Structure 1
Amino acid sequence: MNSQDTPHRSVHHAPDRRALLRGSLAGAVALGGVALGSAPASATPLTPKNSGASGTPHLPHRPTTAAEALRELAAGNQRWRTFRERHPDETPAVRASLTSGQHPFALILGCVDSRVPPELVFDQGLGDLLTVRTAGEVLDEAVLGSVAYGVLELGIPLVVVLGHQSCGAVRAAVEADLSGDRLPAHIQYLADQISPAIDRTKEGDARVDATIDANIRAVRTRLTAEPDLAARIASGALTVVGARYELTTQLVHRVA
């Protein structure tokens, strides 16, 4: 659906007491960088996974290696940011095939932010991605167990830690660190998990922006240190990468 086809909806503003968690978009920095994977920005979109050469529907071929998965995600993100989405893998045949099992080709550990849904950002469909979402990509036992399930039980070859520009959870952690104030209820837990990544060499919005990248790196590092995941990485069966979504350009790019 193109943007002109999308109905306008009224926006309800959150109460002021939530302003710390939401964060502000003002002054957000859009980073440069290459697109996720090896596909260039001008890459030709992949052949639709739901149609063969004759246009007849068939079950999708899913990437089986991390390199193939990265190329598919890069091509999907290119479609998304150029408004050429295909919304693949929604046909009756695909839906019927998924009743007997699933074989997602990538696991996306992303933020709960409503502006960064992985299936839309990468233009993927049913059964393509296993998604785990927490504010600020924060890890806990449930999240680690979910990632382990995708890798160890479903054989997923690629895990992407996906942060994003103007992350409210990161801003909340940075501002709480500056003020010394405690955040409400379980939100403080999120700030406590993010705070080790705070880049105190920067000021203002630059500190928030740098901390977003540092947090992505920290989460990726922790995942790669998990013994079961580390063993898969060492064998070449798993790749874990950090990436970032820019709200201003809709580009996903790697975070080294």
Structure 2
Amino acid sequence: MSRSASFRSFLLGPILAFGPLAANEVAPAAAPAAPAAAHAEHSDAPVSPAQALQRLVDGNARFASGHAEHPNQTVARRVEVAAGQKPFAVVLTCADSRVAPELYFDQGVGDIFVIRVAGHTLNDHVIGSIEYAVEHLHAAVVVVVGHEKCGAVAAALSSERGEGKIGTLLEAIRPAVRDTRNQAGDKTDNAVRGHARRTAKLIPASSPIVKNAISAGHVKIFAARYDLVSGKVDLLP
């Protein structure tokens, strides 16, 4: 196939084998000393998974420290990407209005391919969207981001069945609830973390396209958690 200290430098290896990144792959992000120039432009050159990770690490450090650059948001950028998109990352996250990947990763128009659904649950449409971004847009990383105080996860912890199609959404989250029910600590946050990890593992298990891209070293997958107050994204081991 043709392929073109909060947020820690862990990459999921081929087929979700966790392991620390080598020091020469990704450097820890340092908080900026002063605000950078507004609306900086970032290159769309093809990136490796490690380079894509570093862009997300750096962007989250800027956002969390209050030094967001708001890159790639100019009129010229809009005109440029109208001809075609080349996102370097896929982010699957919740539909919660407080959780906006372009903001907490400090990215701009055309930088990340975002898929949002309550509880970042998987179905064929979501998996197909990820496959499109990996196979045709050549995104180098896929990040599944759960978040603090997720309402969908909190509802899945209850015994309610949910009205209409809400029940099917809750049932997709409940395996993580069962897996984490005996863990010490906050039950909702434990389930948030467990659900993000489980979703990240299910993506290649459900998609030969993504599985093959991981095996070839073209893409890596993360599970992560976003903190609503601090603005920090933590990768989950």
Q: TM-score with structure 2 length normalisation?
A: 0.83
Give matches, 1:194-209, under 5 Å: 194-198=173-177, 199-202=180-183, 206-209=186-189
**Post-superposition offset of 1:85:** 1.2
| 2:207 paired with 1:219 | no
Structure 1 pair 123/219, CA: closer, same or farther in 2 (3 Å)? Answer: same
Match among 40, 54, 61 for residue 28 of structure 2: 40
Equivalent residue, structure 1, for 2:48? 65
Partner of 2:17: none
- Number of the residue aligned with 1:125: 108
For 1:187-246, what per-residue CA distance to the aligned partner results, in whole angstroms no more than 9, with x for missing partners?
Answer: 11111000111122147x711111111101110010122211111100000101111101
Moved segments of 4+, more than 6 Å: 45-50
- Within 5 Å, give how 1:130-145 maps onto structure 2: 130-145=113-128
How far off is 1:61 after superposition?
3.8
Q: Distance in 2 between matches of 1:108 and 1:71?
A: 15
- In the alignment, the residues of structure 1 paired with residue 46 and residue 71 of structure 2 have an alpha-carbon distance, to the nearest angstrom, of 14
Higher strand share: 2
Of the candidates 130, 133, 143, which is equivalent to residue 147 of structure 1? 130
Distance 1:100 1:59, change over 3 A: farther
Instruction: State the one-letter code of the partner of 2:121.
Output: V
Give the letter for the 1:129 counterpart.
Answer: I
2:158 alignment partner, SS class: helix
Q: Which stretches in structure 2 are left out of the alignment for 5+ residues?
A: 10-25
Identity of matched residues, %:
36
- 8 Å CA contact 2:39–2:70 kept in 1: the answer is no
Q: 1:243 aligns with which of 215, 224, 227?
A: 224
Distance 1:48 1:127, change over 3 A: farther
1:114 aligns with 2:109: no
- TM alignment of 1:85-104, pairs within 5 A: 85-104=68-87
How far off is 1:59 after superposition?
7.0
SS in 2 for 1:127: coil
RMSD, matched Cα: 2.3
Q: Contact conserved, 2:118 with 2:152, CA < 8 A, in 1?
A: yes
With structure 1 as the length reference, what TM-score do the two structures score? Answer: 0.77
- Shift, 1:249, TM fit: 1.3
Q: For the residues of structure 1 that align with 2:46 and 2:96, how far apart are their CA atoms?
A: 27
Distance 1:207 1:77 in 2: 26
Aligned 8 A contact 1:62 1:128 in 2: no
Residue 90 of structure 1 deviates from its aligned partner by 1.4
Aligned to 1:188: 167
Structure 2 letter corresponding to 1:137: H
CA 1:90 to 1:115, structure 2 compared with 1: closer, same or farther past 3 Å?
same
| Structure index of larger Rg | 1
Could you say what secondary structure the match of 2:97 adopts?
coil
Q: In structure 2, what is the Cα distance between the partners aligned to 1:118 and 1:64?
A: 19
| Residue identity opposite 2:6 in structure 1 | V
Q: Which of 180, 191, 211 is the matching residue for 1:230?
A: 211
**Structure 2 residue aligned with 1:26:** none
Within 2, Cα distance between the matches of 1:245 and 1:39?
20
Distance 1:243 1:59, change over 3 A: closer
CA contact (8 A) 1:50 1:91 kept: yes
In structure 2, how many angstroms separate the alpha carbons of the residues matched to 1:87 and 1:70? 18
Query: Structure 2 vs 1, CA of residues 59 and 114 (structure 1 numbering), >3 Å: closer, same or farther?
Result: closer
Count matched residues.
Answer: 213
